[in-house]
Amino acid sequence: MFGRKPSASTTPGARRRAAAAGRTPGGDEATVTREGGKGHATPKRREAERGRRRTITAPRDRKTAYREARERQRHDRTRQMAALKAGDETHLPARDRGPVRKYARDLVDTRRSVAEFFLPLALVILGLTWFGTAQMKLFGGSLWLALVLLIILDSFVLGFRLRRGLARSLPDVSHRGATIYALMRSMQIRRFRLPPPRIKGRGFRRPSS
């Protein structure tokens, strides 16, 4: 009633409007920072995705990419061949890896297979057939038939023993491809088998783990 009339800028409504506009009631600009805030504007989604993108350095041309791919493949083959020769289980190729393949190799290496003599006997039979007399050719043909029959019979025995042994020792693991793998190994000469045999000597005994 008496005294100076309050200024419009100092009324409660003016103070609220000034605070919303980022100014102090006296008209001076002020920086309004929310307590506990980030202190900067939230980046847009496009900018955030651009920041998360990783720069990938591609080869300069197709020839360089092809050369690098060949180098990687050659390095992998060299490492796998070294693992085959040393019998290193950790770096073996996929076809030789796993307990099932290991069991099949050990079973083949503990016995004499007719199929491992196929190559040298086949050379002898071919020699008799091509350069021998009529009787020698007849003998070579009979020997060839006997060899094939023995290989088939021995393969059945090997497959039966392998399936029975795997069912007893590794019942919870897939046995797919184990029989073919064992038959292919049995056709190789022992000293040239890869991975090399772990078991020394011969004999019909259960493969060790």
Q: What residues form DSSP beta bridges with 29? A: 23
pLDDT of residue 175: 94
Joined together, the tokens standing for residue 101 give 């393949």
Q: pTM of the predicted model, to two decimals?
A: 0.59
In order of 92, 102, 162, 186, the CA distances from 97 in angstroms are 6, 7, 17, 17
Structure confidence at residue 61 (pLDDT): 75
The tokens for 37 are 């805030």
Among 106, 144, 5, 203, CA closest to 96: 106
pLDDT in tens, 14-30: 556 655 554 444 444 44
Give the pLDDT score at 35.
Answer: 46
List, as one string, the DSSP characters of 40-66: SPPPPHHHHHHHH-------SSHHHHH
Query: What local confidence, expressed as pLDDT, does residue 169 receive?
Result: 93
Beta bridge pairs of residue 23: 29
The predicted pLDDT at position 46 comes to: 64
Task: Name the phi and psi angles at 29, rounded to 5.
Answer: -75, 145
Q: What is the pLDDT of residue 191?
A: 87
pLDDT the model gives residue 186: 94
Residue numbers of the chain with a pLDDT score lower than 50:
1-2, 9, 22-36, 204, 208-209
Q: For residues 176 and 165, what is the distance between their CA atoms, to the nearest angstrom?
A: 14
